Amino acid sequence: MALWRDMGLEGKRCLIVHHDDLGMLAAQNEAYAQLGLPTGSIMTPGAWAPQVNVGDLGVHLTLTSEWAYPRMRPLTGGQSLCDETGHFWPTLEQAWQHIRVEEAKAEMEAQIAACRRMGVEPTHLDTHMGAVLRPDIAAVYHQLARELGIPVLLPESLTDAGLPGYLLEPLLRILEASPLPRVRLIDSYPVPADQRASWYIDTLSGLPPGVYHLIHHAAVPTDEARVLPDWQKREADLEALRHPDVRRLLGEFVLLTYREVQAGMRQYSPF
């Protein structure tokens, strides 16, 4: 797109290495500190959110809480956001069935405000479990980014997203009409833990020019982290991103931050 051209990125391999789920666990935050890769997003309803306040940080807008531990509650009093225990709904299906869009909007605004109270001016917005992809919520998500003048995680394509048609068509309309920058998504999460390092090496080696958003969930190996059912994947992300071959390959990319994307947006008239 024109923004990437005007930022001098056209024809280059550019990568935003994005640490999801910051603030959920101390183990997640510690991995962020150890890796030294600056971009990530904070789950502001998380108990450990105030621990993260330095870097290229956005808000990981949270409308679901999938694990038995840790479970998170809304920052607002929106009843449609909660199950019978007062926590966010554990699945996307339950969340999309129950959440009222006006309560989702109030909660997203509250999470952004909480990030600012922690001393972090968010550089971008993204979403936990894709919970904003219900089209009416997606429109609010997109509008919040426009109002704030910051990037929002928007994929270049929804072709491989596996979304049902009733979601895909209205989401495509939002995407096609948006002036905000789009990225090519790479997500390590589906990859088995024992294949994670080789997947990083193979994937990074084969990428053509473009601007990519690489999602990872690295966490240090602690008793706290190993309560999660997916702890092996989180530890595998940490080890893979420390691997010398992966680090060498990262060095072959233009490593972008969302702060740099935001600065580029502000110089570009459509935004």
Catalytic residue among 142, 216, 217, 237: 217
Residues 74-110 have pLDDT tens digits of 999 899 999 999 999 999 999 999 999 999 999 999 9
In angstroms, the CA 256 to CA 69 distance is 33
DSSP 8-state secondary structure symbol assigned to residue 64: B
pLDDT band at 161 (very low <50, low <70, confident <90, very high): low
Closest CA to 182 of 146, 160, 157: 157
pLDDT band at 1 (very low <50, low <70, confident <90, very high): confident
pTM of the model: 0.96
SS3 for 44? Answer: coil
Is pLDDT of 269 > 90?
Answer: no
Catalytic residue among 20, 21, 56, 237: 20
- Peptide bond just before 70 cis, omega within 30 deg: yes
In angstroms, the CA 100 to CA 102 distance is 6
Q: Residue 271: how many CB atoms within 10 A of its CB?
A: 17
Closest CA to 246 of 209, 216, 211: 216
In angstroms, the CA 114 to CA 118 distance is 6
Give catalytic status of residue 217 as yes or no.
yes
Is pLDDT of 163 > 90?
Answer: no
Instruction: Give, in order, the Cα–Cα distances in Å from 193 to each of 7, 39, 134, 196, 232.
Output: 36, 22, 30, 5, 6
Which residue do the tokens 């789920």 mark? 21
Domain 2-266 belongs to what topology?
Answer: TIM Barrel (3.20.20)
Q: Residue 226: how many CB atoms within 10 A of its CB?
A: 14
Alpha-carbon 90 to chain mean position = 18
Take residue 238 and report the two structure tokens written for it: 């940490």
Element (H, E) at 213: strand 210-216
Which residues, 6 or more positions from 176, have their beta carbon under 8 angstroms from its beta carbon? Answer: none
| pLDDT reported for residue 158 | 83
Query: Cβ(153)–Cβ(130) under 8 Å?
Result: no
Residues 107-156 have pLDDT tens digits of 999 999 999 999 999 999 999 999 999 999 999 999 999 999 999 999 99
Alpha-carbon 24 to chain mean position = 13
60-74 burial: b if 16+ Cβ within 10 Å, else e: bbbbbbbeeebebeb
The per-residue pLDDT of the chain, averaged, comes to: 95
Residues 10-48 have pLDDT tens digits of 999 999 999 999 999 999 999 999 999 999 999 999 999
Q: What is the mean pLDDT of residues 179-189?
A: 95
Which residue do the tokens 């920052």 mark? 75
In angstroms, the CA 80 to CA 102 distance is 10
Closest CA to 146 of 105, 180, 116: 180
Is pLDDT of 271 > 80?
Answer: no
Q: What is the mean pLDDT of residues 229-233?
A: 97
In angstroms, the CA 95 to CA 34 distance is 34
| pLDDT reported for residue 166 | 80
Measured N-to-C along each axis, helices 231-242 and 196-206 cross at an angle, to the nearest 10 degrees, of 50
